[in-house]
């Protein structure tokens, strides 16, 4: 037996409910709606709402929740937060049957024929397979934009690259670098920067003298100018911090780490701080990522300093799909790297397929997509929350089909599927959105109609769903679309619904809900309520 209590204006409450079956009721002697819901775990919940219809799905505009002690394991619940009187609720998925809109719009998962922004296989600059590619990748040689530390910047080479990428309907990933064997001139230290010889595969490269104050000053000058120029540039999907080590990958491939040839832990912290301060730290800001090698003993994230544990930091791994990547003995499963995966799984994990033969021979797009090492791309993407992977040769290989590239790319990143849409009130529709992909979306994404937008799907974990209250017209036909502040509305880049019947070309999903005049009588839905008493079992 559960008693009823006065309705208070609680703005935030916690729900522990899974696989709900809900019934609605209005008390006969008051203007309160009471909803009783039973979960499969045996939790009984009563919710009240004054003068507003309560949907058959829980948690839209509900300021009070009362429950009996639930038989639910700790941690099974999800927060529901009210935002300006409208709620967005995230919940783990249960065994619910296919859900339908209140006017029987079928809402089921189906992949579309596109690669979502911020996700998928990534190529070096190319015009090939443009329709199954969302991002193109490039180093930014420091000396290419700053010939001397004491001189002015010239960003022409970067701006031209971004213009070409955008003309193909793509976004860019940029990584600054001081030296990168096999890439262009290979050495990119400004002429007046002090360097030391670094030997790699019998060749000599210019490695900055990281222990010198002048070097550190030049590096911070570059980071600050880089961020000031591109922090709001929607042609860029990700910035990889780079700079330190071979190819900016934060390692020296077996060489010893000294104060002269690699930045100290303290200066690494300063560099990271400048990136985060420059590019921003919200889900609407351009994400800065660092090599996962920085979580080994020579890197900042391999130390006990927790300064950035709560910050928005992404990581990239330059040897994805390598043998034993997820094995207990692999360094990635050591405490510090594993902790970073746990702390920053929402922040756009990416990387590169290991080179030989996986990347070099385009094996990552060949079923079973495991490059001969047992763990498939889809399984690895799900395990680490992988959003993107550099695998450029496959996009330049005329023997590789665009269908295979699309299939492999869609194993990575987020996907959004609407699983329910119901009329909430005269001006809102409640949409249940499930993340049917392998990873979080790293950027803010809102659900929209022509009347407005709501929610932030970047908080939606893979395998979970969220209720979003979206502004809507009085019509029973509602056209839903998705938008992000990190996408230019005029760009070809669109986030598409992974739904049966979605319009991929228009990037919309049309759902049918009750028209306003059909459901509201004196503020309540007609013919669906039943008076309850405080003795309802």
H-type alpha helices, 7-155: 142-145
Please say if the pLDDT value at position 321 is more than 60: yes
Mean pLDDT on 366-388: 97
Mean pLDDT on 104-108: 74
Please say if the pLDDT value at position 173 is more than 50: yes
Please say if the pLDDT value at position 284 is more than 60: yes
φ/ψ bin of 98: left (φ > 0), alpha (ψ from -120 to 50), beta (otherwise): beta
Non-local (6+) Cβ contacts of 398 within 8 A are none
Please state, in angstroms and rounded to a whole number, the distance separating the CA atoms of residues 16 and 41: 10
Please say if the pLDDT value at position 492 is more than 50: yes
Non-local (6+) Cβ contacts of 395 within 8 A are 121, 123, 126, 128, 129, 133, 405
Tell me the pLDDT tens digit for each residue of 126-160: 999 999 999 999 999 999 999 999 999 999 999 99
Mean pLDDT on 272-289: 97
Please say if the pLDDT value at position 1 is more than 50: no
Please state, in angstroms and rounded to a whole number, the distance separating the CA atoms of residues 435 and 414: 6
Mean pLDDT on 443-470: 97
Non-local (6+) Cβ contacts of 335 within 8 A are none
pLDDT of residue 517: 66
Max CA-CA distance within the chain? 87
Q: Number of C-alpha atoms within 13 angstroms, CB side, residue 403? A: 1
Buried b (16+ CB within 10 A) or exposed e, 333-364: eeebbeebbebbbbbbbbbbbbeeebbeebbb
Please say if the pLDDT value at position 520 is more than 60: no
Mean pLDDT on 77-106: 43
The band of 184, judged by pLDDT with boundaries at 50, 70 and 90, is: confident
Mean pLDDT on 175-194: 94
Tell me the pLDDT tens digit for each residue of 383-436: 999 999 999 999 999 899 999 999 999 999 999 999 999 999 999 999 999 999
Mean pLDDT on 65-84: 36
Please state, in angstroms and rounded to a whole number, the distance separating the CA atoms of residues 51 and 59: 15
Mean pLDDT on 88-112: 59
The band of 516, judged by pLDDT with boundaries at 50, 70 and 90, is: confident
Q: Could you tell me which CATH number the domain at 120-409 has?
A: 3.20.20
Non-local (6+) Cβ contacts of 160 within 8 A are none
pLDDT of residue 106: 74
Per residue, what are the HEC states of 470-514?
EECCCCCEEEEEEECCCCCCCCCCCCCECECCCECCCCEEEEECC
pLDDT of residue 89: 57
pLDDT of residue 128: 94
- By the 8 A CB rule, do 16 and 72 touch? yes
Picking from 6-15, 171-180, 246-255, which range would have the lowest pLDDT averaged per residue? 6-15
Percent pLDDT > 90 in the chain is: 74
Please state, in angstroms and rounded to a whole number, the distance separating the CA atoms of residues 25 and 3: 15
The band of 518, judged by pLDDT with boundaries at 50, 70 and 90, is: low
17 vs 388, more confident: 388
Please say if the pLDDT value at position 46 is more than 60: no
Please say if the pLDDT value at position 255 is more than 50: yes
Please state, in angstroms and rounded to a whole number, the distance separating the CA atoms of residues 387 and 401: 21
pLDDT of residue 91: 54
Q: Where do the structural domains in the chain lie, given as residue ranges?
A: 12-111+414-525, 120-409
Please state, in angstroms and rounded to a whole number, the distance separating the CA atoms of residues 282 and 231: 12
Q: Using DSSP bridges, classify how beta strands 314-320 and 416-425 pair: parallel, antiparallel or unpaired.
A: unpaired
Mean pLDDT on 365-391: 97
- By the 8 A CB rule, do 435 and 450 touch? no
Q: Which of these, 175, 192, 182, 171, lies nearest to 141 by C-alpha position?
A: 175
Mean per-residue pLDDT of the chain: 82
């Amino acid at each position: 037996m559960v008693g009823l209590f006065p309705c208070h204006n609680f703005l935030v409450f916690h729900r522990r409910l899974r696989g709900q079956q809900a019934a609605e009721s209005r008390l006969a002697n008051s203007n309160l709606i009471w909803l009783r819901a039973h979960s499969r775990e045996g939790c009984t919940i009563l919710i009240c709402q004054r003068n507003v219809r309560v949907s058959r799905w829980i948690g839209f505009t509900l300021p009070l929740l009362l429950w009996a002690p639930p038989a639910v394991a700790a941690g099974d619940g999800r927060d529901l937060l009210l935002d300006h009187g409208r709620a967005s609720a995230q919940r783990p998925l249960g065994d619910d049957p296919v859900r339908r809109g209140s006017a029987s719009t079928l809402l089921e998962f189906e992949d579309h024929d596109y690669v979502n922004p911020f996700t998928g296989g990534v190529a070096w600059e190319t015009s090939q397979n443009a329709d199954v590619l969302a991002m193109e990748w490039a180093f930014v040689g420091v000396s290419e934009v700053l010939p001397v530390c004491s001189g002015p910047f010239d960003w022409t080479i970067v701006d031209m690259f971004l213009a070409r990428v955008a003309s193909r309907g793509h976004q860019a990933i940029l990584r600054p670098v001081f030296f990168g064997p096999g890439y262009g001139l290979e050495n990119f230290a400004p002429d007046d920067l002090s360097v030391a010889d670094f030997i790699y595969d019998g060749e000599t490269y210019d490695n900055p003298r990281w222990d010198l104050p002048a070097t550190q000053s030049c590096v911070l000058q570059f980071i600050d100018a880089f961020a000031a120029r591109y922090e709001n540039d929607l042609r860029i999907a990700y910035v990889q911090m780079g700079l330190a080590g071979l190819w900016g990958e934060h390692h020296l491939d077996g060489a010893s780490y000294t104060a002269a040839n690699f930045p100290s832990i303290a200066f690494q912290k300063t560099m990271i701080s400048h990136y985060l301060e420059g590019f921003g730290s919200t889900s609407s800001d351009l994400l800065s990522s660092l090599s996962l090698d920085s979580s080994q003993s020579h890197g900042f994230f391999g130390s006990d300093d927790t300064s950035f544990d709560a910050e928005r930091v992404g990581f990239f791994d330059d040897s994805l799909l390598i043998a034993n990547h997820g094995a207990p003995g692999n360094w990635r499963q050591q405490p510090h790297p594993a902790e970073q995966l746990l702390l920053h799984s929402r922040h756009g994990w990416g990387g590169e397929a290991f080179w030989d033969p996986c990347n070099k021979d385009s094996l990552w797009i060949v079923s079973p997509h495991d490059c001969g090492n047992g763990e498939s791309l889809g399984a690895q993407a799900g395990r680490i929350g992988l959003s993107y992977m550099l695998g450029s040769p496959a996009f330049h290989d005329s023997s590789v089909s665009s269908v295979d590239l699309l299939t492999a790319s869609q194993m990575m990143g987020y996907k959004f599927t609407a699983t329910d849409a119901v009329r909430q009130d005269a001006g809102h529709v409640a949409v249940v959105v499930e993340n049917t992909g392998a990873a979080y979306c790293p950027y803010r994404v809102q659900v929209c109609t022509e009347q407005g937008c709501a929610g932030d799907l970047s908080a939606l974990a893979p395998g979970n769903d969220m209720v979003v209250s979206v502004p809507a017209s009085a019509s029973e036909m509602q056209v839903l679309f998705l938008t992000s502040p990190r996408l230019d509305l005029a760009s070809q880049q669109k986030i598409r619904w992974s739904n049966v019947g979605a319009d991929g070309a228009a990037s919309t999903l049309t759902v049918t809900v009750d028209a306003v005049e059909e459901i509201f009588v004196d503020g309540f839905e007609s013919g669906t309520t039943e008076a309850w008493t405080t003795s309802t079992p």
